[in-house]
Structure 1
Amino acid sequence: MTSIDLSQYDVPGRGRGILDVFHWSYLLRLLVRKGTATRYRNSVLGWTWSYVKPGIQYLVYFLVMGIILGMGGRTENFPLYLFAGIVVVNFFNEGFGNATNAIVDNRSLVQKIYLPRELFPISAIIVAFIHFLPQVAILLIVAVFIYGWVPSFVGIGAALVGVFIVGSMALGLGLFFAGINVRYRDAQNFVEVIRMVSTWASPVLYTWTLVAERMHGWVLYVYMMNPLTVAVELFHFAFWESTVSSDAENASPGFPPHFEVYLIAALVVCALALTIGQFVFRRFERTFAQDL
């Protein structure tokens, strides 16, 4: 009886999780292309919405926080400070939300063919990153031509680390809730709550010094170790800090004390989120076709 070597064949349902992205990169590119092409299909404004929606959001926040509540008078170059934080949170919210719905939105593919299911949440994060780039472009234009921002290697490196943290956290949470969402659609409600709270749970509309004045002990440490808080502060350092005077009492420039500890803690939290998210996703993946 002839024996057949099956070591070179892939067994459906068995994979390496996120690592399979490198093996299925061609399909990943197709999913990303599909996500970007269909986002604004049959829309009159098309990609202009990538500028309009964050612009309206920014104007509302600036009107309420900057003018009505007076943050503009207490924080130097507050418009730039606010916008640098908003683009980070928008990236997280879009990536997290899209990743959560990635399996449900692609139910026809999940039910008919086998491919690593992780490709869908990962492609959703990449699509969110592509839509994040126009906002960064506006941020750069405003920072350079209005506030005289000068790029530096350290600042650009800080921004890249911030993007990595946000993308990792969005993917980890997205995998976790994407798996649960297929069987229990209540997961979408939890995701909406997290997205709603994310803007207020990081120093986007206010400075970290206001939090430090009113929160102490472990509560402050938990707040500062929040990956979104760390990512927002990295963006503030990259785009806002160099535009304010270091001796200004109301500017609040500089990293919070012990920021390197918070950065390491945020990276650990992201690693845990990816690990737990992948584990939960793989557990629910077994019944995706039936549950859909």
Structure 2
Amino acid sequence: MRYRGSVLGIVWSYIKPAVQFLVFYLALGIFLGLEKGLQNYSVYLFSGIIVINFFSECFSNGARAFVVNGALIKKIYLPRQLFSLSTIWVGIIHFLPQILVLIVACFAVGWHPDLKQIAAAIAGIVLIMLFGLAAGMIFGVANVFFRDSENLVDMFLMMATWLSPVMYSWTMVAREVQIANIEKIYMTNPISVAVELFHYAFWQPTLSIEQQQMLAEQGNWYMFPHLLTVWVPIALVISLLLLMIANSLFRRFEGNFAQEL
């Protein structure tokens, strides 16, 4: 549906993240000098961008799923959760070309992941799917009754991009924000955990041992402490709890969908 009548079709799945990457790389990597503090900053940046793009697809499409399919909801009965679930598959379709480009770029700069890092990438994908599905379903239900919800989605997506370590290192949060344990509060955001998982899986294996030691000496640790053992389980629990809340809201208000739409 998205590419109906489009000349380039699914090629837009490559063009849009490429333009997004170039803008951020020039503005932050070159003009603000973040490239000097992080080795292979281009890989660091793009691995975070595709996570945010994947979440954006799942969240924004999920928030519109029931309204967009209002005609079907009013005419026939079918499990309406399928509309939310379908947005995850659409997100995956647009995510695959981006991760393919990332993998090629990583190999070009000496990517050498181990099984733990590959598993971390898979965990990051699953985490975004769960969190995106939950957030999309909550706002999808709200959007049936309050159309202003779509504007809130755009605002939250902008916040998610800047409140996750996509374009900067997580160490800057603890260094620049003088609040006790701010970095731990920061990591209760499942998106931040997923971005760090992708950094661990794709960016960190492109660094040499010397580069990792240099970053450590500068205070720019390449992985958040206890990421795999503590923060991934916490993020999964938060995402699953949010999904349970989303499903509860859906079941409570589902009966009024046809009437409101």
TM above 0.5, yes or no, is yes
Q: Which has the higher helix share?
A: 2
Displacement of 1:151 after TM fit?
A: 3.3
Q: What CA distance in whole angstroms lies between the structure 2 residues aligned with 1:251 and 1:65? A: 19
The CA deviation at 1:254 is 3.2
Q: Which residue of 2 aligns with 1:25?
A: none
**Amino acid corresponding to residue 44 of structure 1 in structure 2:** V
Residue in structure 1 matching 2:21, options 37, 58, 62: 58
- Sequence identity of aligned pairs in percent? 45
Cα deviation for residue 217 of structure 1 reads 2.4
What does residue range 11-50 of structure 1 map to in structure 2 within 5 Å?
38-50=1-13
Structure 1 residue 247: deviation in Å? 1.2
On the 8 A contact 2:171/2:221 being kept in 1, the answer is no
Question: 1:248 — aligned with what?
Answer: 214
1:239 maps to a residue whose letter is F
Q: Does residue 171 of structure 2 align to residue 212 of structure 1? A: no
Count residues with an aligned counterpart. 254
Structure 2 CA distance for aligned equivalents of residues 116 and 236 of structure 1: 37
Shift of 1:246: 1.6
Distance in 1 (alpha carbons) for counterparts of 2:219 and 2:88: 34
Query: Could you tell me how far apart the structure 2 residues matched to 1:188 and 1:275 are?
Result: 22
The higher radius of gyration belongs to 1
Find the counterpart in structure 1 of residue 97 from structure 2: 134
Cα distance per residue 1:148-189 (max 9 Å; x no partner): 102321111000000011110000011111111111111111
Q: Which amino acid aligns with 1:206?
A: Y
CA deviations over 1:84-123 (Å, ceiling 9, x no partner): 0000000001110001101111111101000111000110
Q: Which amino acid aligns with 1:117?
A: R
- 2-structure distance, mates of 1:219, 1:151: 30
**2:64 paired residue among 101, 112, 122:** 101
Match of 2:116 in 1: 154
Residue 76 of structure 2 aligns with which residue? 113
Task: Please give the alpha-carbon distance, in whole angstroms, between the structure 2 residues aligned to 1:252 and 1:183.
Answer: 46
| 1:253, distance to aligned residue in structure 2 (A) | 4.2
The answer to whether structure 1 residue 258 and structure 2 residue 226 are counterparts is: yes
Which of 253, 278, 281 is the matching residue for 2:247? Answer: 278
Cα deviations by residue, 1:242-283 (Å, 9 ceiling, x for unpaired): 112221235934322232322222111101110111111122
CA distance in 2, matches of 1:158, 1:99: 25
Letter in structure 2 aligned against 1:66: G
Deviates more, 1:62-71 or 1:276-285: 276-285
Residue equivalent to 2:107 = 144
Offset, 1:218? 4.5
Structure 1, 232-241 or 150-159: larger mean CA deviation: 150-159
In structure 2, what is the Cα distance between the partners aligned to 1:184 and 1:219? 34
Aligned to 1:224: 187
Q: Quote the Cα distance in structure 1 between the aligned partners of 2:65 and 2:234.
A: 28
Matched, 1:179 2:141: yes
Query: Could you say which residue in structure 1 is the equivalent of 2:201?
Result: 238
Structure 1 unmatched ranges of 5 or more: 1-37
CA–CA distance in 2 between the matches of 1:153 and 1:95?
A: 27
Q: Which amino acid aligns with 2:212?
A: S
TM (norm. structure 2) is 0.94
Which sections of structure 2, spanning at least 5 residues, go unmatched? none
Aligned 8 A contact 1:241 1:253 in 2: no
Equivalent position of 1:72 in the other structure = 35
Is 1:201 equivalent to 2:163 in the alignment?
yes
